[in-house]
Each structure stands twice: as structure tokens, then as C-alpha cells.
Amino acid sequence: MSKGPENRLEDPRVSDAYRDLADEHAPEPLNRKILVMAAGAGTPYARARAWMRPAAWAATIALSFAFVLELTQLPSNETVIDGLSHTMRGDETGPAVGRELRSTEEFLPRDAALIQEAEEQARRQAGTNQRPVPLEADDDVGEQRVADESMALQRAAARREATDRLAADHVAAEARGAAASFAARSDAVAGEAACAASLRETPQAWLDCIRELRESGNEEQADREYEEFRQVFPEFDDSGTDK
């Protein structure tokens, strides 16, 4: 059952005629206008879409990391207060003291009690030296600040003295120990080296060595060598020698 020309949905003649008729094109200025509009509308959205999400993630991670780092490296309250006090005066004593104290506490944890005791003493001393604040004065705040700074200075000086004293004590103790160790080691070396092993092989050579020690003034070493000589050569007749 074929459809007649009058019932067809598509007719090549109509299509060709229409195609011959419809040869208009969109005006080029209109094309440019619409393309510019599309580019202008698309660019900010595309740029935002391209980097907004990664940037948000990076910022979140960086802020979290910085927050955790700040929490883990937060100094003690006293150190912060001292540091702020010295910063207000413009010198760098405070932070240096804080660093010194931290390093001392890490190096000498058993001396922390001594440092704390020195601080308490300094605090008491500062309390006795502090002037009473007049209630009716207009510059209450300024005087209080001066008093606080004076107290902070005294506390810092006390800390410095305590840490210096502790460091000096430790240095002295180490020096004493080193000296004793050196002396003992020197004695041992001296005793061992009084007469060489080659000289001890023959009785006469050993006795000659002992005599030289006595002539050089090393009587103690000469006596120790002679005792050893007698243990080794008890039968040797040394009556003819000046042992």
C-alpha cells in the first residue's frame, strides 16, 4: 500500500524547493555577539569550576595541619608571659631565657626543682620590693605595668643565675671527675711505664732501671719496681747494687 503524493510526509520536490528558497544565514555580527556572550558567561564559571574544589581541599588541609602544628608546639604559659613582657620592652632576653630554660630542662630534668625553687625565691623577693599601688592614682595602669616588668626582670635574672649556677656546677663536677680519672690513668700509665718489659727480662737490667728511677727522684716508683723485682727474682743477690 503506497502513499499518494498528497499523503506523504516527505516530498523531495518540496524539500529541494525549500532548500533553494532558504539560503539565508545568520548575520555575522549577530554570530559574534552571541559567541562573545557565551564566552563571557562561560569563562568565570569554568575557571571557578576548574580550581575552586581543589583549592578548597588544599586550604582545608593546610589549615588543619597548621592548627595541629600550633597545638603541638605551644610553649608554656610562663614562657609566653615572659616573652611578651620582654617583647614589650624591645629586647630579646625573654625568648633567650625561655629557650635556655627549655634546653636546661631537657638536658637536666633532675634540676627542674632547683630552678623552680630559684624562681619562687625571686618571686618572693620581687613581691617584697614591689611598691603598693595607690588606688586614687591616675596612672595606676602605667605603674602596675612598670612593677610587672620589674618583677619579670628579676624573675628572668633569677632564672639566669640559677641556670648559670647549675651549669657551672655541672661543668665543675665534670672537670673534677675528668681530673681524677686523668690522674688515676696517669698513675697507672706511670707505674706501668717505669721499667719497660725488655728491661724486666734480666735482673741486672731491671735493677739498673730501679737505680735510675731513684737517681731521677722517683722513689715511690723505684720501691714498687723493687717489690715486683723481688717477687720475680727472689733468689737474685743484689747486695752489690744500689737498689
Q: Which residues bind another protein (CB under 8 A)?
A: 5-22, 24-27, 30-31, 33-35, 37-39, 41-43, 45-47, 49-50
228 C-beta neighbours (distance < 10 Å), count: 16
Task: Kindly state the smallest distance separating residue 57's Cβ from another protein, in Å.
Answer: 19
Q: Which is nearer to another protein, 45 or 242 (CB)?
A: 45
Task: Kindly state the smallest distance separating residue 2's Cβ from another protein, in Å.
Answer: 15
Q: Which is nearer to another protein, 20 or 242 (CB)?
A: 20
Q: Which is nearer to another protein, 8 or 89 (CB)?
A: 8
Distance from first CA to last CA of the chain, Å, rounded?
Answer: 152
Amino acid 57 reads W
Q: Which is nearer to another protein, 11 or 227 (CB)?
A: 11
Task: Kindly state the smallest distance separating residue 83's Cβ from another protein, in Å.
Answer: 50
Distance CA 207, CA 201 (A): 11
Return the residue matching grid coordinates 625571686.
122
Task: Kindly state the smallest distance separating residue 6's Cβ from another protein, in Å.
Answer: 5
166 C-beta neighbours (distance < 10 Å), count: 17
Q: Which is nearer to another protein, 21 or 193 (CB)?
A: 21
Task: Kindly state the smallest distance separating residue 12's Cβ from another protein, in Å.
Answer: 8
Task: Kindly state the smallest distance separating residue 39's Cβ from another protein, in Å.
Answer: 5
Residues with Cβ within 8 Å of residue 209, at least 6 apart in sequence:
194, 195, 196, 199, 200, 225
With beta carbons less than 8 A apart as the criterion, state whether 100 and 162 touch.
no
With beta carbons less than 8 A apart as the criterion, state whether 118 and 159 touch.
yes
118 C-beta neighbours (distance < 10 Å), count: 19
Q: CA torsion 44→46→50→51, rounded to 10°?
A: 10
Q: Which is nearer to another protein, 17 or 55 (CB)?
A: 17
With beta carbons less than 8 A apart as the criterion, state whether 229 and 206 touch.
yes
